[in-house]
Amino acid sequence: MSSEAQLREQICVLARSMFERGLTGGSSGNISARTGDGGLLVSPTGTSFGRLDPARLSRFDPSGKLIGGDQPTKEMALHSAFYDTRSTAGAVVHLHSCHAVALSMMPGIDADNFLPPLTPYSIIKLGKVKLLPFFLPGDPAMGEAVRGLAGKRSAVMLANHGPVVAASDVEAACNAIEELEDTARLAMLVRGHDARMLDPNEVAAIVEKFDLEWGD
């Protein structure tokens, strides 16, 4: 099996796993990954993460031209914005995961640092997650908002919509977005309780030990 065939299969296996565990439902969510030649494989528009066909993934060449497969997700602007602004991006995942969306609706959320410091793992896998405002689905302005971050964030949360995460490869991107959803679920579970958060010194120690992006 060629490396591209393996990547096609990996995208579909990971997407199906997230669908089967309720991280995104129906035909929501989209996923993309860099190919060996610098092109992209992208989930087609209107498809379910539970039933992606490796042979029908949208295939783009390195110049951004669609050269095979079905028509891509209408959220291509989001994916392109991450690839164009983060040189380390090898994959992008977008979900409509329930707890992350719920947390985005809550009052008092820090838009610059969406996830509260509950465990080390969201800090390690995601850095600071930027909460972006609500956009109409498919609005190219979502991509422009990501571009406006100038590659400084690996993850954003679209208010009332869902998270988007970029990482070095498709497995890392899926792991990171699952960590985002898990942390949002924890945040909703402890909301209204006097939960002990990690303090700023503990966060700083995590950032230093793991040499993390933790700036603007």
Question: What pLDDT score does 85 carry?
Answer: 97
pLDDT of 194 over the 90 cut: yes
- Give the pLDDT mean for 169-196: 97
121 is catalytic: yes
Residues 6+ apart with CB under 8 A from 157: 100, 103, 104, 114, 129, 130, 131, 132, 163, 164, 180
Question: What pLDDT score does 2 carry?
Answer: 73
Q: From the candidates 4, 9, 121, 213, give the one annotated as an active-site residue.
A: 121
pLDDT digits (tens, 9 = 90+) for 93-136: 999 999 999 999 999 999 999 999 999 999 999 999 999 999 99
pLDDT of 201 over the 90 cut: yes
Domain annotation for the chain: domains and CATH numbers = 3-209 (3.40.225.10)
| Residue 72: DSSP 8-state | B
* H or E, element range at 2: none
Q: From the candidates 9, 20, 75, 144, give the one annotated as an active-site residue.
A: 75
